[in-house]
Every structure is written in C-alpha cells, then in structure tokens.
Amino acid sequence: MAIVINGQRVEDDVLNAEFSQIKSYFESLGNVSCCERNDEFRGYARQNIVARVLLSQEALRNHPPVPDAQVDEAIAKLKEEHGGEQRFFQSIGAGPEQMDTIRRDVEVNLRVRRMLEKLSENDPAPTDAELRAYYEQHLEAYKTLEEVRASHILKAPARGEQREAAYQELREVRAQLLTGEVDFDELAKKHSDKAEDHIDLGFFKRGELAEEFELVAFSMNVGEISPVFASPFGFHLMKVTERKPATAKPFDEVREQVLADCLADRQQEKTRKLVEELQAKAVIEDETPQPVG
C-alpha cells in the first residue's frame, strides 16, 4: 500500500525495504520470532518513511542547494566507504547510468543534514554540570565491557568416527576435575590437542571468540568446570579462572564522548519536534491498491 505525502507518492517497495531492514535489525538482537511483530515493524517503517519525506520536502523548500563540489566529495566518500565504485553501485542496487538520480538524492540528504544542524547551532554549549548529569543518567553507555579469563581443553577429531571417542575422553577428564583432586592445567597439557600456550586463553570480551564458546564462558562462575560442549573447532572443556565486571569509566576519560552524545540527543529531540510540526500540517494518505478487473 503506497503512501502519498503532500502529493509525493512513495511506492510500496520502498516501504517493504524499510520494513525488511527494521525486522532484520530486531532479528539480529535475537528477540524476534517469525512474524509475531510484523505489524509493529510496518508501523515503524511507515513512521520512518513519512519523517524522511517531510524533512526532505522542508529542506528543498527552505534551504539553498548544496554546491556541486560538495556533492562530488560526498559521493567520493561513499564510494570509499563501500570499498570502491563497483561495490558502491552493488550496495545501492544501481549503476553508473543512474548517477544523476544518485547525485540528486545525495544533494537532498546534504540539505537535510544542514537543516538539522542549524536547529541547534545557536544553542548554548552544555555546562559541565549538565554533562555530568547526562553521564550519570546514561552510565551504562560509558562502562567497560565485561571480561572473562578461561582455560580450556580442546579435542579436535579429524574424522567422524573419532568424535565419540574424543567426547568420552573429555567426559572422563571432567569427572576427574569435579573431584577437586587434580589440577586443570596438568590435565589440559595431557589431553588437549592444542599446544600448551593455547590452554590459558587470557581475558576476552563478548564477540572476540566463537559464539558457542562465549555462551558457556559468560554463564559460568570463577572456578566452575563447564560441561563438555561443541563448537566448529571440536569439543571443549572449560574452566573460568577470573572475571572482570563491567565498570563505569571515569567522567573525565569519556567527557568528549559524553559531549558528543549529549549534543546528538539535543538534535534528535529537535528533529522529532520538527517532524511533529511538519506532520501536523501535512496531507498524508494511504493509497489502497485498486482491484484488477
């Protein structure tokens, strides 16, 4: 179902593309099951499209064109960020023959960006007290990442028929470790398929090792022996030896990041209010497809 915003028609495939991006994002967070939130995501997609079109229309009405040299610079930067011209065109699903359209879109985006920057350009800089208050309110954003240190034993059987033997070997090793009468490192040196320097993995954060390994490591307490578990590398037996909890970085250390975040939030709030003002005056219609025949 297309949307017509102040006479500008937005096709259904644009809405579908926005919906797909939103759903993919929530799926990446692991909190979406099939189609249970599709209506919610379609609502988000519609809101995003309406906001972007209204801001573009406002920028085109009230802000001067961006010089060609700046458009060229922005396009060159996009190509570089995508790894070259060919990958740039592939990522946006276009070709060199559509460069005029691409230039128009980039120019409009630059106008919108300038318009939004102007919303806050006369605002006073946040005081130190305001920044400290923002820091306290958003403390989670300024914490170090939790870290775990672990030692492990790896069995990496080369052939399928060896997997059962490797699994059973690690089960027996685990039974010995649970008695508390043997040292983990000593058994690791004897049974691990990796060299001695791969037994102690040191400290690691989430996202640095295989997902299967991290799921186990970050669920364990210090001194705990894991069950035998599998990853693409083989079978593992792990012991967590230390943990470093997430801790807040000192304000002075992250002051510049706090300032940037605070200013970004200010602009986001002003943008939200501008969209509300534009939407209150806009004519927005959902265009229902006409039946064929």
Q: How far apart are CA 46 and CA 29, in angstroms?
A: 21
**Is residue 125 domain-resident?**
no
Specify whether the CB–CB gap between 135 and 256 falls below 8 A: no
Collapsing DSSP states into helix, strand and coil, what is residue 202?
strand
The verdict on 236 and 266 lying in the same domain is no
**d(C-alpha 248, C-alpha 225), whole Å:** 29
Chain mean position to CA 211? 16
Domain CATH for 157: 3.10.50.40
The amino acid sitting at 95 is G
**Considering the domain boundaries, does residue 136 fall inside one?**
no
Q: Domain containing 217: what range?
A: 147-244
The predicted model scores a pTM of 0.73
Is 152 found in the same domain as 228? Answer: yes
Statement to judge: residues 268 and 233 lie in one domain: no
**What distances in angstroms separate CA 145 from CA 109, 247, 250, one per listed residue?**
35, 8, 14
Asked if 171 and 217 sit in the same domain, the reply is yes
Query: How confident is the prediction along the chain (293 residues), in pLDDT tens digits per residue?
Result: 789 999 999 998 999 999 999 988 888 777 666 788 889 999 999 999 999 999 999 999 999 999 999 999 999 999 999 999 999 999 888 899 999 999 999 999 999 999 999 998 889 999 999 999 999 999 999 999 999 999 999 998 877 668 889 999 999 999 999 998 999 999 999 999 876 667 899 999 998 998 899 999 999 999 999 999 998 888 999 999 999 999 999 999 999 999 999 999 999 999 999 999 999 999 999 877 655 55
Asked, for residue 142, whether it belongs to a domain, the answer is no
Nearest to 231 by CA among 207, 208, 215, 219: 215
* Same-domain pairing of 7 and 114: yes
In a domain, 237, yes or no: yes
For residues 98 and 199, state if they share a domain: no
Point out which residues pair with 240 in neighbouring strands. Answer: 150
- Same domain for 100 and 155, yes or no, is no
Where are the strands (E) in the chain, listed by range?
A: 2-5, 8-10, 147-155, 200-205, 229-231, 234-244, 284-287
Q: How many domains does the structure of the chain reveal?
A: 2
Shared-domain flag, residues 24 and 52? yes
Whether 123 is covered by a domain: the verdict is no
